[in-house]
């Protein structure tokens, strides 16, 4: 059995406050050993003015965010997906949205950088989103084999691009940190998360931001754990908190055997 955990937050601009929130949440929940804990997108710093995330950007393997998450993973002997936080790049005017997987010994097992950037117009309080203004997109599809299963990493807007998930090959668990807006979440969140679970025949742990943030941005919440058959195993509506559920990864095998979607697929992503 594998314990899957999603932490739902209303993150603030304060890195220290957000890290303290995660630490307290894990302590309160008494997360079992070898759990997979997924934090939301921008968990460490959110609700700021344009460009202020640059001030929180860390160099790889250095900085408070990485140190604290590594220590938490080691203390709880669990896997932690860092949601995203700003990672410094060679371009001083831009960062990358880094999603790291920390192992139970505190080491970094995987490093994914968000590929699809949210440059859209939405009928909400914010109106226009231009993530690429300060963020460099990633380019690598990332999966990692661990003792609890083969894990694929994606972030928020990525969920709309099925070619990315085709390129991952066979995965047991898809982690999806997000900061889905209230408006797009109402329309598409559940449908997209469940579609990825069904097409990949894998578990999905989707951890979302929730509520209204200091810059007026509204996020949808409704963090989910979804089964390979598309069933909602656990969901947290719009309050701050934690959901967790234990699953048997081996149940995937029966679903794959009865409906061998991957074998029947006649199309391949250009990533492959």
Tell me what pLDDT residue 134 has.
92
The pLDDT of residue 272: 43
Q: Of 156, 194, 200, 202, which is the active-site residue?
A: 156
Retrieve residue 258's tokens.
Answer: 């009865």
Tens place of pLDDT for every residue, the chain, 272 residues? Answer: 999 999 999 999 999 999 999 999 999 998 999 999 999 999 999 988 777 889 999 999 999 999 999 999 999 999 999 999 999 999 999 999 999 999 999 999 999 999 999 788 887 777 778 899 999 999 999 999 999 999 999 999 999 999 999 999 999 999 999 999 999 999 999 999 999 999 999 999 999 999 999 998 999 999 999 999 999 999 999 999 999 999 999 999 999 999 999 989 887 655 44
Class of domain 2-264: alpha beta
Catalytic residue among 58, 94, 114, 194: 114
For 204-255, the pLDDT digits (tens) are 999 999 999 999 899 999 999 999 999 999 999 999 999 999 999 999 999 9
For the question of residue 41 being annotated catalytic, the response is yes
pLDDT given at position 50: 72
Identify the burial level of 153 via C-beta atoms within 10 angstroms of its C-beta, where 0-12 means exposed, 13-18 middle and 19 or more buried.
Answer: buried
Residue 263 annotated as catalytic: no
DSSP line for 44-93: TS-S--TTGGGGG-B-TT-SHHHHHHHHHHHHHT-EEE---EEEE-SSTT
Closest-CA residue to 44 (of 35, 36, 52): 52
pLDDT of 138 = 96
pLDDT at 266: 86
The pTM of the full predicted model, rounded to 2 decimals, is 0.95
Supply the pLDDT for residue 271: 46
Active-site residue, 78 included: no
What is the chain's length? Answer: 272
Distance CA 200, CA 137 (A): 24
Which two tokens mark 95? 């960062």
User: Of 41, 94, 194, 202, which residue is the catalytic one?
Assistant: 41
């Amino acid at each position: 059995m594998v314990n899957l955990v999603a932490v739902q937050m209303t993150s603030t601009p304060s890195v220290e406050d957000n890290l303290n929130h995660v630490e307290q949440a894990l302590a309160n929940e008494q997360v079992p050993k070898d759990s997979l804990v997924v934090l939301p997108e921008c968990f460490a710093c959110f609700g700021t003015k344009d460009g202020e995330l640059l001030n929180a950007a860390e160099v790889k393997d250095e900085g408070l965010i990485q140190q604290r998450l590594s220590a938490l993973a080691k203390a709880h002997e669990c896997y932690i997906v860092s949601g995203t936080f700003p990672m410094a790049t060679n371009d001083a005017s831009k960062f990358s949205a880094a999603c790291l997987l920390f192992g139970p010994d505190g080491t970094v097992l995987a490093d994914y950088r968000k590929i699809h950037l949210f440059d859209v117009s939405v009928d909400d309080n914010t109106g226009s989103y231009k993530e690429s203004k300060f963020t460099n997109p990633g380019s690598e599809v990332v999966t990692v084999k661990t003792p609890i299963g083969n894990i694929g990493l994606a972030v928020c807007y990525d969920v709309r691009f099925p070619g990315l998930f085709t390129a991952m090959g066979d995965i047991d668990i898809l982690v999806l940190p997000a900061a889905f807006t209230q408006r797009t979440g109402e329309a598409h969140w559940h449908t997209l998360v469940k579609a990825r679970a069904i097409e990949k025949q894998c578990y999905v742990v989707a951890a979302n931001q929730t509520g209204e943030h200091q810059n007026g941005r509204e996020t949808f919440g409704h963090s989910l754990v979804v089964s390979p058959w598309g069933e909602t195993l656990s969901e947290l509506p719009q309050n701050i908190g934690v959901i967790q559920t234990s699953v048997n990864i081996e149940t995937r095998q029966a679903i794959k055997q009865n409906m061998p979607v991957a074998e029947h697929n006649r199309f391949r992503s250009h990533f492959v």
